[in-house]
Structure 1
């Protein structure tokens, strides 16, 4: 094999950005780490990855994308005996993508409740055992990826491609089959490479979209076609000597009573006063409380900036985001130094060359992971990985701070969520797999994506051996058992501990809560307390119906603003919500014109509200959140024909 190596142009050293709120609380290092003020080990260099100059014309499987999910998919396929090609068209020179180029080096772990253990294991564990912990050195991380790839005789790598296009064949029934990829080499030449299957491990499922796989975009499935979660440019600060780091950690530990503020030898998180920073461009950029991570060269990275209204597919929009960041970050740093004098010695360094993008496409697969799957811990016959990270919906605009819908103890990811509808010969792994936008808030985390990558590589082997399509594999419980057995043999743990149902499932109004959570109008937070028995009020009822209208705008088209006309702002939020007022609000949303008197009778007569739901209401003069969710569930089922 003719190979060449590429010069690596990326800073080295330990980068340990603190985990976001909940994950930070459960940070666990590895034995023998230094104390907070001690020097870190000297930086090491990133090893080079041998690459083929011109790929062969045929492989068993092509993996597109060198993010962690893609590396795991390629290693898995190779270890299962498949001739594998790993390719990349983004401007990258090392493996690891978001971790090693985007500088996001904190792992959002899928912890097993009540323990320090985590779900899935497998190839993720093999990689994880080579790094420092759930905050890690990007040099160590990149070298771990490189060593895993370089050890595989069946695996070849080609980065630096100009473009990667699907080679497809369309059948008479409209079904599309992916037969390989056209690789544009960057020198005006191209190579057509055939393969039995392609695994799309790009962050945004670019290859699958080009092949014709169906998707929703952003929050489209809950009626929001305009917004995405904020993007983050991670930036670097220099001059972080051991003494400076000790001052930072002492400040956080001794001067902040926030339980989600703390520090260790690699990471510092909290800084709640930074939420008060006033941006010079408030419609586009702000900062939250920073997560800081030390590097070995007496510098650190900062994960804090949120930039809104960025189109990740538009290079001009991305460049504009960087320009906004370059103007605002120095001002943010000045403010941070005033609030936290321990940071006075540090200086501003570089910004990561890739943005941290949390959300774009959501595949429409043979199975679509839903909020109900998480609420009910739904078992699937084809589960190939497990998640437990909080359903963390990051900010979508400067006017909200995001939300945690719930904190799941366990949920399964079915293999069918990797299989696109209408397209054969293709699997999609990582955050753009077939997840509704709300469960995506949990399922998007990279360790879970790495597990789906391992499953995809093994699945291609079984499909080839059994002479079936990947879709047929997903539909066969017999073949799925073979896949699960193979993954278990190769180190994955697909027999997780048993868990108890959530307390809210025994509530008589759970069915209403389930509908409300699916429409993003009910949230349980980290405690999974959906406050079903707490009293509602007219303002909250209006807001709930506004959320319903956003999701089901054709069936429930009207904004029920008139429902609270004549009330003072105080009364809207404090007076009890009556059944009559709730019915009036629903009638306005449905019909656009209604009166308080008679709305309940009208909705009951037309079958919008059912006696079964009305009978769960204990006090018609003081409705609870659970009461409201039952009424909303009825209205959506009748008007939109949707049962959650």
Structure 2
């Protein structure tokens, strides 16, 4: 949904916007994948970094008014899509481009088919907002290395996808009370530790580790569980490896592999978790939660040192923060955390496809190397960037192109964002956690050869 923030902001700024969707069913990760456990962006002291329209979503989420599918659907339709036209189930037939005198490529038009009819759409800007690079993969763009390169795999592979688990008839009050009534030793013995309150449950990895899946491509990790109310619970914990979102058969297989494990997981939870004795399976999403697919080089590619160094940029469109959280792959099932930044800026250039004058990226298509992507990929980070870019497009329309913007232009645009939308992108300082690092060590960090949390810099 991250790109919808750009669409909404651009439309509200007076631009003509249309959404063309290669999926037959609208809503992707949030509505089709039902990935309802939302990760909040915070700085190193735990202070929320939420700004812009996405802040309203998180306010409803944390307060309990936006936790179930109909509530998310209503939010997306009323707050984001509105009257913006949407064409779902389209197939791209042709992309017309020209090479400018500057050497940049410009997309002039896209020909697509929908319901048997062929249509042509022209636009000043086109935005890649799919989880399977529907547009970028057909352009002269350079792929960025994916997770297999970090973990040492030779075959292309991405971070594990996930199948959201839905349960009903859960007595969450009992779960919360009995878990928090245990001594620390008993929490460790029964659940392997963890955290539970009236809304969320995190971890409990000792309990989940006792469940063994029937297929090596599926793995039950620690819980990210959401109390949706009324006995309903949504959990992000079931990983499925080797999923290719560009292949419909791979998507179908991922859902089938995950679904096959659910009866066993239900029985395990009934026996292992207080308050789950009478739990039942809820509906099964028809689409997996895709964390990663092939991304393409942008004008600026974020690195771990940008994040851990607290870097800010003249053209920032988001102030972001989140651990560098890399989920696992099939041959390294547990992922790794490569460090926790304070906060950092995400520049406009990280959302401009390299060598193209008018192709932007949104959401998980952000320009970040394989390690930095662990933080950059988080929804609030890129949702704020998308909204800022949408506003900027509206403000410069008819006057300048994005690539013509200079520091003075951005200063004015930042002021407009602050005054009109209360989005603050300047005057923010992130803690530099790399002050004692040598240039060589920083290069190794950016290449994924150093795990920040366990490394002691040699230079003092």
TM over 0.5: yes
Paired with 1:309 and 1:396, the residues of 2 have a C-alpha distance of: 8
Question: Within 5 Å, which residues of 2 pair with 1:353-372?
Answer: 353-372=286-305
Residue-by-residue CA offset, 1:50-91 (whole Å, 9 max, x unaligned)? xxxxxxxxxxxxxxxxx2x12211111012111122232313
SS at match of 2:354: coil
Paired with 1:106 and 1:484, the residues of 2 have a C-alpha distance of: 31
1:139 counterpart (70, 75, 87): 70
Paired with 1:498 and 1:259, the residues of 2 have a C-alpha distance of: 37
Which residue pairs with 1:530 in the alignment? 455
Deviates more, 1:358-367 or 1:306-315: 306-315
Deviation at 1:466, TM superposition (A): 1.9
SS at match of 1:384: strand
Which residue pairs with 1:498 in the alignment? 429
2:135 counterpart (207, 229, 232): 207
Which residue pairs with 2:20 in the alignment? 87
Which residue pairs with 1:117 in the alignment? 48
Which residue pairs with 1:324 in the alignment? 257
Deviation at 1:224, TM superposition (A): 4.5
Question: Within 5 Å, which residues of 2 pair with 1:554-569?
Answer: none
1:249 aligns with 2:176: yes
Paired with 1:276 and 1:521, the residues of 2 have a C-alpha distance of: 32
- Specify whether residues 482 and 221 from structure 1 end up closer, same or farther in structure 2 by C-alpha distance, changes over 3 A only: farther
**Larger CA Rg, structure 1 vs 2:** 1
- Specify whether residues 260 and 114 from structure 1 end up closer, same or farther in structure 2 by C-alpha distance, changes over 3 A only: farther
TM-score, structure 1 normalization:
0.64
Which residue pairs with 1:445 in the alignment? 378
SS at match of 1:98: helix
Deviation at 1:164, TM superposition (A): 4.2
SS at match of 1:206: coil
- Specify whether residues 252 and 440 from structure 1 end up closer, same or farther in structure 2 by C-alpha distance, changes over 3 A only: same
8 Å contact 1:166–1:178 — kept in the other structure?
Answer: no
Q: Which runs of 5+ in 2 are unaligned?
A: none
SS at match of 2:214: coil
8 Å contact 2:20–2:90 — kept in the other structure?
Answer: no
Paired with 2:435 and 2:92, the residues of 1 have a C-alpha distance of: 47
1:521 aligns with 2:446: no
8 Å contact 2:67–2:228 — kept in the other structure?
Answer: no
Paired with 1:312 and 1:77, the residues of 2 have a C-alpha distance of: 28
Deviation at 1:313, TM superposition (A): 1.9
Which residue pairs with 1:280 in the alignment? 214
Question: Within 5 Å, which residues of 2 pair with 1:544-559?
Answer: none
8 Å contact 2:179–2:274 — kept in the other structure?
Answer: no
8 Å contact 1:238–1:346 — kept in the other structure?
Answer: yes
SS at match of 1:390: coil
- Specify whether residues 115 and 171 from structure 1 end up closer, same or farther in structure 2 by C-alpha distance, changes over 3 A only: closer
Q: Over aligned residue pairs, what C-alpha RMSD do you find?
A: 2.7
8 Å contact 2:41–2:49 — kept in the other structure?
Answer: yes
Deviates more, 1:248-257 or 1:369-378: 248-257
Residue-by-residue CA offset, 1:484-531 (whole Å, 9 max, x unaligned)? 2332232211135434432x522xx54343233223232234xxx524
Deviation at 1:296, TM superposition (A): 4.1
Considering Cα pairs closer than 8 Å and 6+ residues apart, tell me whether 1 or 2 has the greater RCO: 2
SS at match of 2:364: coil
Residue-by-residue CA offset, 1:392-432 (whole Å, 9 max, x unaligned)? 01111354411110110011111011111122221111111
Paired with 2:422 and 2:137, the residues of 1 have a C-alpha distance of: 32
2:38 counterpart (104, 107, 117): 107
Which residue pairs with 1:472 in the alignment? 404
